[in-house]
Structure formats: C-alpha cells, structure tokens
Amino acid sequence: MKLIHILTLLPFVGMLGLLPQVNKLEPFVLGLPFNMFWIVLWVVLTSVILAIIYRLDPANREGDV
C-alpha cells in the first residue's frame, strides 16, 4: 500500500475509529471536554494530512502540464 493511501486512512481511523475509546467528559483540554477536543484536533490534523498528501502526489508536480 502506498504512503498516500495510508495517509488518507489516518483521519478516518483517528476521528471515527478511535472516538469510542476516547469518549470521556473528563479531563478538560483547552476548556473543552476531551471528546470534543479530540474531534477538533482531528479536524486540524486532517487539513495538515491533506496538505502533505497534496505535496506527495506526483500529479501535482510543477512542469507536468
């Protein structure tokens, strides 16, 4: 499996697959319950992961017009 395919699975596994394990109201992180913080964290991480995928994708190379 290519690295790009693995990176596309990370947000899905992190946000939906691991949410039942982190479904806790305590502790509070940045004033949010932990499960809400977990979801916000994965929204931000998904943007970072998609930027990495964009940079790694050979179809986005400059000069390939």
The burial class, CB within 10 Å (0-12 / 13-18 / 19+), for 38 is buried
Nearest CA-CA partner of 38 in 47, 25, 50: 25
Q: Is 49 inside any structural domain?
A: yes
Q: Is 45 inside any structural domain?
A: yes
Residue 1 pLDDT class (50, 70, 90 cuts): low
Give the model's pLDDT for residue 32. 86
Looking at the structure of the chain, the number of domains it has is 1
Q: Is 55 inside any structural domain?
A: yes
Q: Does this model's pTM top 0.85?
A: no
Mean pLDDT across the stretch 10-23? Answer: 84
Q: Is 64 inside any structural domain?
A: no
pLDDT tens-digit map of 35-45: 888 889 999 99
Q: How far is CA 33 from the centre of its chain?
A: 19
Q: Is 65 inside any structural domain?
A: no
